[in-house]
Structure 1
Amino acid sequence: MIRSIHALGLLLVIFVLAVVGCGRRQAPSTPSAHEIQEFTSAVNDGDAAIVDRLLSAKPGLVNVRLESGKTAVAVAREKGDSDMEDVLKRHGGHE
């Protein structure tokens, strides 16, 4: 009887962890105006290394609309900057 109670308790704990999610990561926070400005400047300057670093820290930046209303991928494509376009697409960027 005691073993079955312990087994039920263990099953309950496993069920709760499965439903609630043990160690679930929180969604990335929304980028701040400063982060968007920094990202926009790096895209416009063609600095793929900075863009890569920013996107690693803030994945939500990848598809923000720049001042032109275009995504960074669209801007990179228009400029013919294939390195920038590759970095952006690697981080999930699209037009």
Structure 2
Amino acid sequence: MVVEHDVIRDSLARLEQAGKEKKVSSSAAGNIRRWLTDPEFEEYLPQLVELIQGDRWQELNDAFWQVIPFGTGGRRGRMFPVGTNAINDRT
């Protein structure tokens, strides 16, 4: 599914507003912004846009506030379809 540029712009504006309203941390906002704009993450845009359009900021904050660390037991974390702090196809 192709996500239109207008939808991405709207999602970026919503993200900026959510950051101003402290609904999402600055670190999560930066990671989300990267996933919205970097072609490397294009296949995840439909899911990410759906979460943003649904104002699911707590889930987005949890999924993106950090890059999931690699420890002595490998990577461990919750499963979520998108995010830098979750186990998914990308991480």
Same-fold status (TM-score > 0.5):
no
TM-score with structure 2 setting the length: 0.29
Larger Rg: 1
More helix by share: 1
TM-score with structure 1 setting the length: 0.28
